[in-house]
Amino acid sequence: MSLRLRPLGGQPVIVRPRSADQFALDDAFVGRYHLPPPELAGEQLDVIWDLGANIGLTMAHFARLYPQAVVIGLELDADNAELCGRNTAAWGDRCEIVHAAVWTEDGEVEYQRTRGEELSF
């Protein structure tokens, strides 16, 4: 399903019906948990890392709020990473998606995909 969101300047994003994407929408645009603390909000940000980019909503929001910044998102799940790329295409010159995991040590990370829990595999 395609939605146009005011916080993204009306740019469309895609969310999957009957998935946890609805929670990503709520976290990004109601909770706004991804934003820097108020004391840093006015800082000049050149590079922003989104570790666990999911479907790209927070990356898109960062790109919209910080037009001078490059936004790099890491996402473990291939389906989420693909959708992240689609949802950040409007800012493609400044958004880069890396299909990878973040962990405390080098190696391979195993995970289990459960439908409806796409936000936290």
24 touches 121 (CB < 8 A): no
Tokens 């910080």 found at: 66
Distance CA 16, CA 20 (A): 8
pLDDT in tens, 75-120: 999 999 999 999 999 998 999 999 998 888 888 877 777 676 656 6
Of 30-34, 39-43, 52-56, least confident by mean pLDDT is: 39-43
Write down the pTM of the prediction.
Answer: 0.85
Q: What are the CA-CA distances from residue 6 to residues 9, 12, 76, 103 (Å)?
A: 5, 10, 28, 34
Q: Structural domain boundaries of the chain?
A: 2-99
CATH code, residues 2-99: 3.40.50.150
